Chains A and B, each alone.
Chain A
Amino acid sequence: MWDILIQIFPYAVAYTIPLLITALGGLFSERSGVVNIGLEGLMVIGYFCTAITIMQLQPELGSSAVPIGLLMGFIGGAVFSLLHAFASINLNANQVISGTAINMMAGAITVYLARTITGSGNILIRSGLTRRTIPVLSEIPVIGRLFFTQTYATTWLVLAILLISWFFLYRTAFGLRLRACGEHPAAAAAAGVNVYFMRYIGVMVSGAFAGLGGGTIMVTYSGEFSGSVAGLGFLALASLIFGQWKPFGVLGATFFFGFAITIANVSQVIPEFAVIPPVILRIFPYVVTLLALVIFSKSSQAPKAVGEPYYPGQG
């Protein structure tokens, strides 16, 4: 069992990280009071921006094109999320419909542009990130082997963002205000918080993080843009619920789903897992989410005002 764990652990982490950063983005948006089911589409936008940047710059810049590509994914996601922010915050649009539009638009417009630029709907890059083993730390028995060998730089970046996000949300006045906008916007406004501004921040962070998530897929395990992230954005949304809108809850949920995906991917080559029908492993995360929703239905920690438009002056 230990051998299997050692074998699949790097893959599980590779799948967890894009989910984690995207779900964390969703956390910012929903904590500020805006539902964002457009995470899937925002990931696709980041995926595309990263791919196209690296493809264009790699011939000249070589490996330093990769971080620039990730940065462009981050920015691209944030910019595209403005569409959702404008609709849900300024125009009181139905946030679920706006998010659906974001998902559909992202999938179509990126392939449209990719076809124009490369001729096919796909974008290939020569090389992404390489896995690195961290000196010294990897020598620690047991955990050194598990956590500090064969790692991507993005993994450490995302984990750092997780810690910073937690600190920001729970240990700063700004974070408290942002969460207040998702719980009781009128009270926040009465206390002098600019609800519109806070919600814009929430949505843009979700766009930027989802964009980074898409970019991470590109530079780690994918290497080719194809116009879809195959439901990972929705799985990030599920992780957000499963993790009950808390940063470390989300970490646990995404790791759980990352592992589930990896086991499903490798089940055919590892005899211990081959006995389980693969379809069971595949639908497992979604069924678990449905069950979690049932279990948490009485005591959900969802932000109270999530999905509700805010009108200035409402009591």
Chain B
Amino acid sequence: MKRIPDALLMAMAAVLLGLIAGALLMLAIGSNPFEGYYYLFRGGLMNMQRVGNTIALSTTLILTGLSVAFAFRTGLFNIGAAGQMLIGGLCATTVGLLVPLPRPILLVVMVLAAMLGGALWGSVPGLLKAKFNVHEVVATIMMNWIAYWVVYYFVPAYLKGQFLETESRVLPAASSLRTPWLTDLFNGAYLNMGLFIAIAMIIIIRFLLNRTTFGYELKAVGSNRDAALFAGIQVNRSIILSMVIAGGLAGLAGASFYTGYSANIQIGVLPIQGFDGIAVALLGANNPLGVLGAALFFGLLHAGKGFMNAMTGIPPEISDTIIATIIYFTATSLLIGRALDYVVRRKKKGGK
């Protein structure tokens, strides 16, 4: 029998525990968890349009998940994906609304602007970490809130809609990542060209980490910084570049979300996808393919929650609770590991 990798087993255990916690919460408010989960999954999968929406939500999560996972491989914890994504979305929206260019060029410029904006936002914690040994967790949290307030004042000042102060104008179709053939294929779903960016990034990041010297150096820094330094790797440069790339990936998530899934940018919200990215990376064991799987699963949880709420009255926040619980259980993988060991040992004893 082929052995299932430990990471996959752990991930499955964490998901199972998360779903059990969700079921308990449904029971606590007097709902039937089987019914709840039935409608939750049905809501994400029952027709082409819903499948398209699930993939569209997953697209953003793939990119934020890759962002967090990539930084993790260099031993950095990027809690700032939310802020980087927000700035990426702001850059893409600004270009989309204000720069008159023919559509193909415009889209490329928008995506590049998003990537650069996110990379810039990621570079600050990277620089502070490399030059001054400032902990990246605190620095990225501060950068999140700086992004929050920058968007809060920039959007009403320069991108204001006709009626609402709290969101930007709606992007014209010409500057949206949505494209008619893809929208028609999925019966009007939010699915957009961000998906192709996400898939390309999975391939590129996988190649970068597994097949290049640069990727090897980043991983060496992540495994043992002192040993990497001793081996002649430029640790500081690796840290900065890792955060720049992580920021760029989160910036792309911003483009896919604000100019593809959505058609404008709201103020006063740090995108939840940035934090879900942490869950995606952890559940995916910081591996690009694992990220893909985890993002699809979380995308499904988010896509189906509205339908579940309509059919059963269970509040949609159940999905966020399940995701948070899964993060908690992946953090405590030791407990799961011990439990698995125990089961394996019991089995061996029973066999003898």
Contact = CB atoms under 8 A, between A and B. Distances in A.
A87 B275 CA distance: 19
Interface in B136-167: 137-139, 141-146, 148-150, 152-154
A100 interface: yes
A98 B332 CA distance: 8
A282 B77 contact: no
Contact of A111 (B317, B328, B331, B334): B317
B275 A100 contact: yes
A142 to B, nearest CB: 34
A234 to B, nearest CB: 5
A278 B150 CA distance: 10
A279 interface: yes
Contacts of B323: 104, 108
Contacts of A108: 317-318, 320-321, 323-324
Given A37-B141, A116-B315, A278-B153, A287 B146 contact: yes
A293 B331 contact: no
A184 B308 CA distance: 50
B153 A279 contact: yes
A270 B285 CA distance: 52
Interface in A121-160: 121
Contacts of B77: 96-97
B49 interface: no
Interface string A48-65: 000000000000000000
User: What interface size band does chain A fall in?
Assistant: 35 or more
Interface string B29-44: 1000000000000000
Interface stretch (B102-110, B126-134, B169-177, B187-195): B126-134
B303 to A, nearest CB: 17
A226 B128 CA distance: 35
Contacts of B150: 279, 283
Given A91-B334, A104-B275, A109 B317 contact: yes
A132 B128 CA distance: 45
A97 B317 contact: no
A289 B328 contact: no
B278 to A, nearest CB: 6
B325 interface: yes
A282 B278 CA distance: 27
B331 A93 contact: yes
A294 B128 contact: yes
B128 A93 contact: no
A286 B152 CA distance: 15
Contact of B332 (A91, A116, A234, A241): A91
Given A234-B141, A238-B138, 6 more contacts: A91-B332, A100-B278, A101-B325, A111-B317, A282-B152, A297-B132
17 contacts: A92-B334, A93-B332, A97-B331, A101-B324, A105-B321, A109-B324, A112-B315, A115-B315, A234-B141, A241-B138, A279-B152, A279-B154, A282-B152, A283-B145, A283-B146, A290-B128, A293-B135
